[in-house]
């Protein structure tokens, strides 16, 4: 560097990098910081089901990372990384350019795990009369959903919609859709689960409470159903031959590692995510840090969830500051269990933690309908305050 400053490149404006960009304003004497992101605005995942349900406008859940960068005197580059040469310390970009770095931090999230035979149709977004969308990236999901909702008044007749993938995100999306389309007669929403029951890794009571919530909202849970192909004019076909004609199909099929990481030269975990130390530094390249869904802390495996990505933000910022100052990074130990506040469609929520759930149908047997309903609405108000405060902070 001509001016003696080190070059810190931040790839992705995800949940962890928000805290880094906000803090980077204090480092500009020591480093030239560049944020690379294909999106000027990034969505806060916790509010996305609320956008689908119609409780929020899309702007409510978007954080302007370009503006955040400008406030911190961080250079903003609207592009996506497509490759890495960690030996020469170069990032390759989708606009054909390259970027040199001394220190690199990666927070590019995960991509939905979509079967190859369906991926083309999901990318294209339309198969006959069927609109398809992945649940991530969020701006694409919201854009396609907006177009779908806008087309509805001109299309009478029943609506069949499928949410493919029944993790917590898929469940929230299905419940949000059911709420959004509640006044539309003959709406049929199916939640296609690859497993025999909802959230099989969680305590049994949690899955069955969510199953009951789906049932009460009119969402049909279809167990043991893995979508293999899409056929024109708009039918999802499962591996066992079951067919689901639909006008809308949303894919919330779990987190896969971004494909370009496979050739990045960084050490990866068996699922293709960047293997990092508890300091969030790459196991193979100490000048590369990674956080959020795209990284796996080998010593502390955790689910891919925004809450863990957010919690990594401040320790990541601190360790990048240390690395710039030539100090050793400090290990970070994430909490074992995180509280999940899941939206149930209307302005009500269920709280899940340590194998327990409260709100919605969970705990209704002891609390009764009235108290349980009040609790669910209170949980939603709490979630709403937390989420809005997070977005407001940036
Ligand atoms: C519908 C839905 C609801 C969810 N709700 C919750 C919830 O309530 N609570 C919870 O804990 N988790 C939730 N999740 C999970 C949550 O979305 C993720 O765990 C979280 O977004 C991970 O944050 P991240 O920082 O790793 O990546 P992301 O938030 O995905 O951000 C990655 C960023 O990197 C950018 N990027 C991508 N590729 C590149 C590239 N090649 N180069 C440069 N930039 C790139 C993207 O544009 C994006 O801005 C939900 C997921 C879904 C699908």
Q: At 140, phi and psi to the nearest 5?
A: -70, -45
Structural domains of the chain in order of their starting residue, each with its CATH number: 6-110+257-324 (3.50.50.60), 116-255 (3.50.50.60), 339-394 (no CATH)
* CA 306 / ligand 1 centre spacing (Å): 7
> Residue 4: what pLDDT?
77
> Residue 139: what pLDDT?
87
Relative to the CA of 65, which ligand 1 atom is closest? 49
* Residues paired with 342 in a beta bridge: 350
Which pTM does this prediction carry? 0.93
> Residue 345: what pLDDT?
93
User: What lines the ligand 1 site, CB under 6 Å?
Assistant: 11-16, 36-39, 42, 45-46, 48-49, 80-81, 107-109, 135-137, 169, 172-173, 252, 258, 292-294, 304-307, 309
Residue numbers in the chain where pLDDT is lower than 50: none
Give the three-class secondary structure for 233. Answer: coil
> Residue 2: what pLDDT?
61
* CA 357 / ligand 1 centre spacing (Å): 24
For the segment 5-18, what is each residue's pLDDT rounded down to a tens digit?
899 999 999 999 99
**In contact, 334 and 296? CB cutoff 8 Å:** no
* CA 133 / ligand 1 centre spacing (Å): 15
Using the CB atoms, write b or e for 358-376: b if 16+ within 10 Å: bbbbbbbeebeeeebbebb
d(CA 201, CA 193): 13
For the segment 247-289, what is each residue's pLDDT rounded down to a tens digit?
999 999 988 999 999 999 999 999 999 999 999 999 999 999 9
* CA 211 / ligand 1 centre spacing (Å): 25
Quote the percentage of the chain above a pLDDT of 70: 99
């Amino acid at each position: 560097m001509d001016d003696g400053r080190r070059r810190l490149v931040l790839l992705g404006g995800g949940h962890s990098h928000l805290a880094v960009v906000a803090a980077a304003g204090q480092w500009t004497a020591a480093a030239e910081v560049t944020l690379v992101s294909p999106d000027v605005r990034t969505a806060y995942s916790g509010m996305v089901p609320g956008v689908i349900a119609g409780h929020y406008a899309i702007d409510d859940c978007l954080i302007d990372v370009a503006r955040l960068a400008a406030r911190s005197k961080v250079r903003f580059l609207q592009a996506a990384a497509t490759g890495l040469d960690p030996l020469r310390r170069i990032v390759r970009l989708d606009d054909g350019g390259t970027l040199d770095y001394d220190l690199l931090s990666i927070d590019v999230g995960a991509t939905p795990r979509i079967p190859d035979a369906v991926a083309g149709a999901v990318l294209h977004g339309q198969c006959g009369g069927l609109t398809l969308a992945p649940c991530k990236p969020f701006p694409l999901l919201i854009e396609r959903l907006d177009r779908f909702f806008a087309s509805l008044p001109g299309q009478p007749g029943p609506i069949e919609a499928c949410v493919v993938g029944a993790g917590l995100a898929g469940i929230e999306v299905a419940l949000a859709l059911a709420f959004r389309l509640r006044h539309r007669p003959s709406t049929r929403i199916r939640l296609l689960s690859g497993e025999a029951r909802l959230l099989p890794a969680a305590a049994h009571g949690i899955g069955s409470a969510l199953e009951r919530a789906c049932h009460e909202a009119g969402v049909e849970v279809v167990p043991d159903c893995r979508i293999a192909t899409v056929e024109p004019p708009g039918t999802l076909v499962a591996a066992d031959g079951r067919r689901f004609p639909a006008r809308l199909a949303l894919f919330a099929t779990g987190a896969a590692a971004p494909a370009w990481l496979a050739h990045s030269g960084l050490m990866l975990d068996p699922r293709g995510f960047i293997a990092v130390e508890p300091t969030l530094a790459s196991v193979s390249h100490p000048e590369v840090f990674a956080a959020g869904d795209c990284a796996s802390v080998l010593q502390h495996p955790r689910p891919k969830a925004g809450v863990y990505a957010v919690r990594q933000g401040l320790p990541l910022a601190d360790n990048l500051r240390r690395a710039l100052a030539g100090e050793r990074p400090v290990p970070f130990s994430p909490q074992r269990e995180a509280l999940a506040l899941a939206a149930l469609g209307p302005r009500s929520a269920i709280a899940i933690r340590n194998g327990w759930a409260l709100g919605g149908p969970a705990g209704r047997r002891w609390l009764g309908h009235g108290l349980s309903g009040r609790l669910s609405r209170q949980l939603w108000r709490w979630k709403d305050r937390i989420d809005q405060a997070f977005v407001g902070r940036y």
